[in-house]
Amino acid sequence: MRYRYLGRTGMEVSVHCLGTMMFGAVGNPDHDDCVRIVHAALDRGINFVDTADMYSAGESEEIVGKALKGRRDDVVLATKVHFPMGEGRNRGGNGRRWITSAVEDSLRRLGTDWIDLYQVHRPDHATDVEETLSVLTDLVRQGKIRAFGCSTFPAEEIADAYHVAERRGLHRFRTEQPPYSILARGVEANVLPACRRYGMGVLTWGPLASGFLTGRYRKGQDIDLNTGRAALTPGRFDPSLPVNAAKLDVVEQLVEVAAGIGSSLPELAVAFAAAHPAVTSVIIGPRTMEQLEALLKGAALTLDDDTLDRIDAIVPPGTNVYHPDGAWTPPALAETAQRRRPLPDRPAA
Q: Is residue 165 part of a domain?
A: yes
Average pLDDT value for residue range 299-310: 95
55 classed as catalytic = yes
CA atoms within a 13 Å half-sphere pointing along the CA-CB vector of 248: 18
Residue 241 lies in a domain: no
| Cα 224 versus chain centre, distance | 26
pLDDT at 137 (0 to 100): 98
> For the chain, what is the largest distance between any 2 Cα atoms, rounded to a whole number of angstroms?
79
pLDDT reading at 327 higher than 90: no
pLDDT given at position 22: 96
With bands split at pLDDT 50, 70 and 90, how would you rate the model's confidence at 50? very high
Please provide the average confidence, as pLDDT, over all residues in the chain: 94
Q: Is residue 132 in some structural domain?
A: yes
User: Could you tell me the pLDDT band of residue 345, with boundaries at 50, 70 and 90?
Assistant: low
Q: What is the pLDDT of residues 170-198, one digit of tens each?
A: 999 999 999 999 999 999 999 999 999 99
- Whether the pLDDT of residue 146 is over 80: the answer is yes
Q: Are 179 and 321 in contact (CB under 8 A)?
A: no
CA angle 274-276-282, nearest 5°?
30
CA atoms of 18 and 282, how far apart (whole Å)? 9
Quote the pLDDT of residue 250. Answer: 97
**Residue 258 forms part of a structural domain:** no
Determine the pLDDT at residue 298.
83
Split into its structural domains, the chain has a count of 1
Measure the CA–CA gap between 127 and 47, rounded to whole angstroms: 33
Name the band, by pLDDT with cuts 50, 70 and 90, for residue 349: low
Q: What is the CATH number of the domain that holds 23?
A: 3.20.20.100
pLDDT at 325: 73
Residue 51 lies in a domain: yes
Question: At a CB cut-off of 8 Å and minimum separation 6, what does 313 contact?
Answer: none
Structural domain boundaries enclosing 66: 3-211+266-303
Which pLDDT score, from 0 to 100, does residue 100 have?
98
Q: What is the pLDDT of residues 60-106, one digit of tens each?
A: 999 999 999 999 999 999 999 999 998 889 999 999 999 999 999 99
**Residues 18-27: pLDDT tens digits?**
999 999 999 9
**How far apart, in whole angstroms, are the C-alpha atoms of residue 266 and residue 248?**
15
Which stretch of DSSP H or E encloses residue 201?
A: strand 201-204
Judge whether 218 lies within some domain. no
Domain assignment present for residue 43? The answer is yes
The reply to whether 245 falls in a domain is no
CB atoms within 10 A of CB 177: 27
pLDDT tens column, 283-297:
999 999 999 999 998
Amino acid found at 90: N
Q: What is the structure's pLDDT at 260?
A: 97
Catalytic annotation, pick one of 3, 55, 180, 322: 55
- Give pLDDT, residue 346: 63
pLDDT at residue 203, rounded to an integer: 98
pLDDT digits (tens, 9 = 90+) for 210-226: 899 998 888 888 888 77
Average pLDDT over residues 302-311: 97
Name beta bridge partners: 148: 118
pLDDT of residue 348: 63
Residues 143-163: what's their mean pLDDT? 98
Secondary structure (3-state) at 310: helix
